[in-house]
Amino acid sequence: MGEFRQQIESAIPALRRYARALTRDVEAADDIVQDTLVRALRSEHLFHGGDVRAWLYTILTNLNRNRLRALSRRPVLAPIKDSDAVSGAPESGGRDIGRALDELAEEPRTALLLVVLEGLTYREVAEIQGVPIGTVMSRLARARMQIRSYLDGERPALRRVK
């Protein structure tokens, strides 16, 4: 087996971990990882050196964006969460990091997962997301602030819709 294929094979566990954290759905994550691997192997001739792992994360991130676009065209069926109930004070055990991550927008959540879960540098995340490094830094700061606020029981700020 060639070195390129060995590098791809060694990245599969990290891709699965990232995809599961990103999608919050095991089946969707496995589908995206499989599509990522198929595209990478088909496009081996387009890879001109560098970090294979970062290239694979880029492919996976783009596939997830496409998946989210397709899902946004469908009607949304949202399950009722424990936090949806109206109560006088938030329950101390009812809030957790998983729910806090669920409340984040896609770009800040993706940046946070790539840095914290996958251990990528800010520069690598900037290349994967196709944005300047300063944008990655602001997304991370915003994500950390929103998670901290959520875990402290503060109500989320309303977002403006353009």
Note the pLDDT tens digit of each residue in 117-133. 888 999 999 998 899 99
On whether the CB atoms of residues 143 and 108 are closer than 8 A, the answer is yes
pLDDT digits (tens, 9 = 90+) for 25-71: 899 999 999 999 999 999 888 888 788 998 999 999 999 998 888 87
Rounded Cα gap, residues 82 and 93, in angstroms? 11
Rounded Cα gap, residues 34 and 21, in angstroms? 16
On whether the CB atoms of residues 26 and 47 are closer than 8 A, the answer is no
* 19-23, 71-75, 101-105: the lowest-pLDDT one: 71-75
On whether the CB atoms of residues 111 and 125 are closer than 8 A, the answer is yes
Check residue 118 and give its pLDDT. Answer: 87
Check residue 72 and give its pLDDT. Answer: 75
Q: What is the mean pLDDT of the chain?
A: 82
Domains and CATH numbers, the chain: 1-75 (1.10.1740.10), 91-162 (1.10.10.10)
Check residue 87 and give its pLDDT. Answer: 45
Q: pTM above the 0.75 mark?
A: no
Rounded Cα gap, residues 28 and 97, in angstroms? 21
Pick from 29, 147, 25: nearest CA to 97: 147
Token pair, residue 86, equals: 């109206």
On whether the CB atoms of residues 71 and 26 are closer than 8 A, the answer is no
Rounded Cα gap, residues 15 and 10, in angstroms? 10
18 burial via Cβ count (<10 Å: 0-12, 13-18, 19+)? buried
Q: Which residue has the higher pLDDT, 154 or 70?
A: 70
Rounded Cα gap, residues 1 and 147, in angstroms? 43
pLDDT of 157 over the 90 cut: no
